[in-house]
Amino acid sequence: MKRRHKMKRGWRWLVAFAVLFALASGIPGKADTTTNTTPNAQTLAARVNSWMHRRSSSSQSSSMITPSQQKAESVLTPAVKEQLGNSIVWNGAGAFIINDNKTNLNAKINSAPYAVDRLDSQGRAWQGDAWLNKTTRQYRNRSETGNGATNWKPAGFLQATNLKNGPSHAYDRGHLLGYALVGGISGFNASESNPKNIATQTAWANEARSADSTGQNYYEGLVRKALDQGKQVRYRVTDIYDGNNLVPSGAHIEAKSKDGSLQFNVFVPNVQNNITINYSTGAVSYQ
């Protein structure tokens, strides 16, 4: 038994060494043949972070089941369509392309970065409008900047948990202007309890971030990448409500970079495959 135990420990060390070697080489199971130098700690850390991100994205994709077209179109009532315009095209990945992906945002401006959040006439979180650059990016965790967890709930936040066949919960505190994009702007309330910037949003609509499951986080990722590359980006998110509903039907998201390399105009429906929402109250029924 002792001999077997030692052999198991030996195998664990061998596997651990193989993983470390693979990470250091940048390609699992394959040595780096482009250079004979050993990666420094910063390079190795970057490769580990990249590897972890790929694993996280893969895990996220498997849990964030993309809503069907029928599910997504369930929120496109006449009142919602009127606010979005005539050109609304399914993108095959959970969302809709508006106006051929073109926006009328003016990105040819010269000013300091800014972020403005607005309530509508009924006091609902309605629109976030921003002019962004790399200085507006926030790389620190919420808990490090005093914007951590909160018990505050936006209107219609009637949570449901332990769900199956998709995200395990119904709702997130859905931001209009994301923390990672505007958290570096002094004076802007990037917390999860800002009633001008937070509305009730499904877990899928908020978190999904893969090319085949395009929730709000996917489009924010395009903006994050542009900012990290030193670009300036005009960015606007408008929550679309049907009448007096407490819960928005979805988020109309627009972006345009000053150099013209980034532009999109989309609508992310506030839906999720494993639930049905009463948008007037926020009540959830399971599917």
Q: Write the pLDDT tens digit of every residue in 44-70.
A: 444 434 444 444 444 444 468 999 999
Q: State the Cα–Cα distance between residues 25 and 44, nearest whole angstrom.
A: 9
Tell me the pLDDT band of 148, cut-offs 50, 70 and 90. Answer: low
Catalytic-role residue among 53, 169, 175, 252: 175
For 104-117, write each residue's pLDDT tens digit: 999 999 999 999 99
SS3 90: strand
Which pLDDT score, from 0 to 100, does residue 82 have? 98
The average confidence (pLDDT) of the chain is 84
- Residue 31 has phi, psi (to 5 degrees) of -75, 155
For residue 53, indicate whether it is catalytic.
no
Cα 135 to chain centroid, rounded: 20
Name the more confident of 231 and 40.
231
Contact call for residues 182 and 115 (beta carbons, < 8 A): yes
The predicted pLDDT at position 42 comes to 40
Tell me which of 30 and 68 has the higher pLDDT: 68
Residue keyed to tokens 């895990």: 59
Q: Which residue has the tokens 């990666």?
A: 39
pLDDT band at 145; cut points 50, 70, 90: confident
Q: What is the largest CA-CA distance in the chain?
A: 75
d(CA 247, CA 154): 9
The b-or-e profile of 67-76 (16+ CB within 10 A means b, else e) is beeebbeebb
Answer yes or no: is pLDDT of 29 > 90.
Answer: no
Q: How far apart are CA 183 and CA 130, in angstroms?
A: 12
pLDDT score at 15? 43
Q: If pLDDT is split at 50, 70 and 90, which confidence band does 207 have?
A: very high
Q: For 152-185, how does the pLDDT look when each residue is reduced to its tens digit (9 = 90+)?
A: 999 999 999 999 999 999 999 999 999 999 999 9
Q: Are 232 and 257 in contact (CB under 8 A)?
A: yes
By the 8 A CB rule, do 215 and 94 touch? yes
The number of residues making up the chain comes to 287
How confident is the model at residue 260, as a pLDDT? Answer: 97
